[in-house]
Amino acid sequence: MSLWDLIFIWWRGATLGTLVNTWWSGRFVGEDKFGNRYYQNATGKRRWVLYNGTVEASRVPPDWHGWLHHTFAEPPTVSAPKTKEWEREYLPNMSGTADAMRPPGSLARSGKRPRATGDYEAWKPE
């Protein structure tokens, strides 16, 4: 990254100001499985994340999201929230990627819709 990118382009990673603030007053708290690194200041009132790659809020898992927004006092590295047996593994938003959902009939898949089953009846005003 160039100095220009560090100063002005926030969507590709942390800006120069964020990196300086993190170096100056940030205390490392932990890292998630996506490589995002989490910090807080000395008092713990201010918390932030340095994204691994593109800055996209959906890349923050729920447990870290709760910590960032002061829902949980302790970070997931200290006390991880209990998960239910029916919960799926967290995935970030995949829209716009090759892994995005493409249901039958979508233009991104084949563009051919399945035949109607005959159970649809169009609404007609009275």
Q: Domain containing 14: what range?
A: 3-68
Confidence of residue 100 (pLDDT cuts 50, 70, 90): confident
**108: in domain:** no
End-to-end Cα, the chain, rounded Å: 64
Stretch 79-94: mean pLDDT, rounded? 83
**96: in domain:** no
At position 88, the amino acid (one-letter code) is: R
Closest-CA residue to 48 (of 71, 73, 24, 21): 21
pLDDT value for 77:
87
Domain count, the chain: 1
Confidence of residue 68 (pLDDT cuts 50, 70, 90): very high
Percent of the chain exceeding pLDDT 90 equals 21
Q: Is pLDDT above 90 for 101? A: no
Confidence of residue 9 (pLDDT cuts 50, 70, 90): low
Tokens of 76: 């997931």
**76: in domain:** no
